């Protein structure tokens, strides 16, 4: 720790202060050294940030429940319908050719059905660190109260991992819904902020259950499958071919195979790129991710207070220093989660302000379809302050901590092995 109030900004000569040696010195007046790594985003970043700013102004003025512009909404539905119908046509024509066609047509039908099967998302395995209703009744009781307030179906499982965030997963052939919470984030949040995290994720899940959302989600999943299916394997560079490879045998067949591979690789690459562009276009036209994020934040502010929702979003800005600290602290034998909490609690206000400014300049959620965290914080700050409709008492919070003791220990050991 040091206080160097005599330092001056090399760009605008403003007085700089370095409250903590662990973090970068920067100038709040001219943004000098706000990004010490000098990361430059793509050329489209400015347009994307401008679009997010426009949507933010519309959301503040009209609310997140107002549908996006008609042309964009209809365009998203038309594109999603075309993608879903193309996938369905693949199955229908595959079955028809397989049972009614000639031998070559049956082979083509089998190939189409195989491609259709590969497009379906693979069933994921259940997460390793799960907290079921039997092992974590207090946590599930809190989730149940939130779901009753939202009129939503509770998750089948709640799981924890070593990430700094939260997500939903569908596991097994039955596609059971699992809420996955990052334990490093969970452990550094206050009880009311944990409640806001649960509300936000459960509100997301309720929003995804709408018919329009499911239809567009199906098209997005299909496009991801098309991109994965069409992306060619990287060409072996500087590596001798296996003697059994057809291109290493030599002769006429080898030449034909070589020419065929040369022609197929760029064609598959173009088709994969087309699927990627259609995926980006559908997300942009839909605008659902943006509205979902604001609706979930508003719901978190209503059920768990706006201050709790803002505290959660402020904590999300510290993802990078939390990951670095977790990796460093995992090499020591101390209580990992207590040490991580102490580290993030000691982050000075100047570093928090730098992270917020970096979100404004770079759009930390750029490319994901979600609005930058800085805009979500501004949105929550503009919401009315109301009393929470669901609360977690201190006794309940302690009970939840006791229920998760084994998971905390297991994830900490996992972090130490990976450090």
Task: State how far the Cα of 146 lies from the Cα of 197, in Å rounded to an integer.
Answer: 11
Question: Quick one: tokens of 53?
Answer: 């700013």
Q: Output the CA–CA distances (angstroms, integers) from residue 377 to 297, 302, 368, in the order listed.
A: 9, 15, 17
Local confidence pLDDT in tens for the 419 residues of the chain: 444 446 888 889 888 876 678 888 889 889 888 888 776 655 667 778 888 888 888 888 888 777 555 666 777 888 888 888 888 888 899 889 888 888 888 888 888 888 887 777 666 777 889 998 999 999 999 999 999 999 988 998 999 999 998 988 878 777 788 999 999 999 999 999 999 999 999 998 887 666 777 787 778 878 888 887 777 665 444 444 444 444 444 444 455 555 555 666 777 778 888 888 888 788 777 766 677 889 999 999 999 999 999 999 999 999 999 999 999 999 887 789 999 999 999 999 989 999 999 888 887 754 556 889 999 999 999 999 899 999 999 999 999 999 999 999 999 999 999 87
Task: State how far the Cα of 397 lies from the Cα of 394, in Å rounded to an integer.
Answer: 5
- Look at the block and give the residue holding tokens 């994921």: 124
Q: Where are the alpha helices (DSSP H) in 330-403?
A: 336-345, 349-362, 373-381, 394-403
pLDDT for the residue numbered 249: 46
Nearest one of 129, 321, 303, 123 to 201, comparing CA atoms: 303
Q: Output the CA–CA distances (angstroms, integers) from residue 278 to 85, 208, 232, 267, 283, in the order listed.
A: 15, 21, 18, 17, 9
In the chain the first and final C-alpha atoms are separated, in Å, by 26
337 by Cβ neighbours in 10 Å (0-12 / 13-18 / 19+) ranks as buried
Task: State how far the Cα of 5 lies from the Cα of 66, in Å rounded to an integer.
Answer: 49
Q: Is the pTM of this model over 0.95?
A: no
Catalogue the E-assigned strands of 82-156: 129-131
Given CA atoms 100, 104, 107, 113 in this order, what sign does their dihedral have? negative
Distance from CA of residue 143 to its chain's centroid? 21
Residues in the chain: 419
Q: Locate the domains of the chain by residue range.
A: 1-33, 67-233+251-351+387-419
Given CA atoms 47, 56, 286, 300 in this order, what sign does their dihedral have? positive
Q: Where are the alpha helices (DSSP H) in 9-44?
A: none
Task: State how far the Cα of 108 lies from the Cα of 391, in Å rounded to an integer.
Answer: 59
* CA triple 206-208-213, angle to 5 deg: 140
Task: State how far the Cα of 367 lies from the Cα of 222, in Å rounded to an integer.
Answer: 19
Nearest one of 287, 319, 301, 283 to 389, comparing CA atoms: 301
| Strand 166-171 with 129-131, pairing | unpaired
Residue 83 · residue 222 · CB < 8 Å: yes
Residue 376 · residue 313 · CB < 8 Å: yes
Strands in 157-161's sheet, in edge-to-edge order, are: 129-131, 157-161, 176-182, 166-171
Question: Quick one: tokens of 385?
Answer: 């302050």
Q: Output the CA–CA distances (angstroms, integers) from residue 142 to 202, 207, 219, 327, in the order listed.
A: 12, 20, 34, 31
């Amino acid at each position: 720790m040091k206080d160097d109030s005599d330092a001056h900004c090399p760009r605008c000569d403003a007085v700089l202060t370095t409250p903590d040696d662990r973090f970068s010195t920067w100038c709040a007046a001219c943004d000098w050294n706000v990004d010490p790594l000098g990361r430059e985003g793509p050329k489209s970043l400015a347009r994307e940030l401008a679009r997010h700013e426009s949507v933010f102004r519309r959301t503040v003025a009209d609310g997140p429940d107002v549908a996006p512009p008609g042309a964009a909404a209809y365009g998203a539905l038309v594109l999603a319908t075309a993608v879903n119908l193309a996938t369905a046509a693949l199955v229908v024509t595959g079955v028809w050719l397989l049972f009614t066609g000639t031998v070559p047509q049956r082979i083509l039908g089998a190939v189409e059905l195989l491609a259709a099967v590969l497009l379906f998302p693979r069933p994921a395995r259940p997460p390793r660190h799960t907290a079921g209703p039997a092992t974590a009744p207090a946590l599930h009781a809190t989730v149940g109260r939130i779901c009753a307030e939202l009129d939503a179906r509770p998750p089948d499982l709640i799981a924890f991992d070593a990430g700094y965030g939260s997500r939903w997963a569908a596991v097994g052939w039955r596609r059971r819904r699992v809420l996955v919470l990052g334990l490093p984030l969970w452990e550094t949040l206050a009880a009311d902020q944990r409640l806001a995290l649960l509300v936000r994720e459960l509100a997301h899940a309720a929003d995804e259950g709408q018919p329009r959302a499911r239809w567009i989600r199906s098209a997005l999943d299909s496009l991801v499958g098309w991109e994965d299916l069409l992306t060619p394997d990287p060409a072996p560079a500087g590596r001798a071919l296996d003697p059994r490879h057809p291109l290493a045998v030599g002769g006429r067949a080898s030449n034909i195979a070589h020419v065929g591979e040369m022609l197929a690789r760029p064609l598959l690459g173009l088709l994969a790129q087309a699927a990627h562009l259609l995926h980006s276009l559908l997300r942009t036209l839909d605008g659902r991710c943006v509205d979902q994020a604001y609706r979930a934040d508003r719901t978190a502010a209503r059920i768990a207070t706006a201050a709790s929702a803002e505290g959660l979003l402020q904590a999300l800005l510290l993802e990078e220093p939390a990951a670095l600290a977790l990796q460093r602290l995992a090499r020591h034998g101390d209580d990992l989660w207590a040490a991580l909490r102490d580290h993030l609690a000691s982050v000075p206000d100047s570093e928090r302000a730098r992270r917020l400014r970096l979100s404004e300049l770079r759009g930390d959620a750029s490319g994901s379809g979600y609005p930058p965290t800085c805009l979500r914080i501004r949105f929550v700050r503009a919401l009315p302050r109301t009393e929470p409709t669901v609360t977690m008492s201190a006794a309940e919070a302690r009970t939840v901590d006791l229920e998760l003791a084994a998971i905390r220990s297991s994830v900490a050991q996992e972090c130490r092995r990976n450090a």
